[in-house]
Amino acid sequence: MVGHSRNWPVIAGLGLISIPLLVMYIYLFVDTVTDSPAGSVLPNRFTLEHWRFLTEGIEGKGNIWKVTLNTAIFASVTTTVVLLVSSMAGYALSRLNVPMRRYFLAGVLMLHAFPSVTLIIAIFLILQMVGLYNTLIGVILVKSTLELPLGIWIMKGFYDTVPWEIEMAGIVDGASRFRVWRSLVLPQVQPGIVALGVFSFLAGWSEYVLPQVLAPSSNVQVLSVYLASLIADDQHFDFNLFKSVGMFYIIPVIILYIFFQNKLMNIYGGGIKG
């Protein structure tokens, strides 16, 4: 209780700052289930007409559920690849005597510093040459590659905090290096894995530029591109429908944040040892 009483000014300040954001989300939701008279910001009747796209679809825009499935596959597979590669590469860089390790880590950070937009032309040409342009797997590979530098750096920091004695005890007992890593070390860095997984999923879920440029076909469309297509014609569009689809798009993000908000802060707890 004493600690909370000391922090009340910070909590109160953050609460005040968050009020406009909270009001915005509440207003967005209310606006998707009501109608307002022309020229008024106050709703006058309840309606679910703006959510009919869930059952009837949107003319000329494809099936919203197929697009949602594409988005879920894109975000989930990207997350899986990032977690698998980062957890193994981070361990190798933390525990093994990798030649020129510091230079490799510096290179990893430099790769993360490059915005994906600066690489988009080269990536576009490579995907065309290997036959993965306009495919979901091509965008997944690109997005995973761009997320890996940060993932490797973060997991390496978490492995650095795990005491050597834990691994030595397993090796003395006759366990293989892989068994020690899987059974003894991974559980110690579980907070980092969870936090990195959530961040990677959200990064995949919200990605717009890569799917728009590298997979423009409607068969592999994701929700971010689908949402943008609703206002492609800025002269004739249903703004209430746009807000409803946008609300549908952010619901998984809100749910993830509610369940994993405490875990997300752990991504900074792994240290930055070289």
Kindly report the CATH class assigned to 63-268.
mainly alpha
From residue 221, alpha-carbon distances to 5, 10, 83 in Å are 49, 43, 24
The residue type at 205: W
| pLDDT of amino acid 1 | 47
The per-residue pLDDT for 39 is: 61
Full pLDDT tens readout for the chain, 274 residues: 444 556 788 788 888 898 988 888 888 888 888 887 766 667 778 888 889 889 888 877 878 999 999 999 999 999 999 999 999 999 988 888 878 888 887 887 777 777 778 889 999 999 999 999 999 999 999 999 999 998 998 899 899 989 988 888 888 888 888 888 998 899 999 988 998 999 999 999 999 999 999 998 888 999 999 999 888 766 677 888 888 999 999 999 989 888 887 776 655 555 444 4
Domain boundaries defined on the chain: 2-47, 63-268
Tokens standing for 85? 């590669």
Prediction pTM value = 0.86
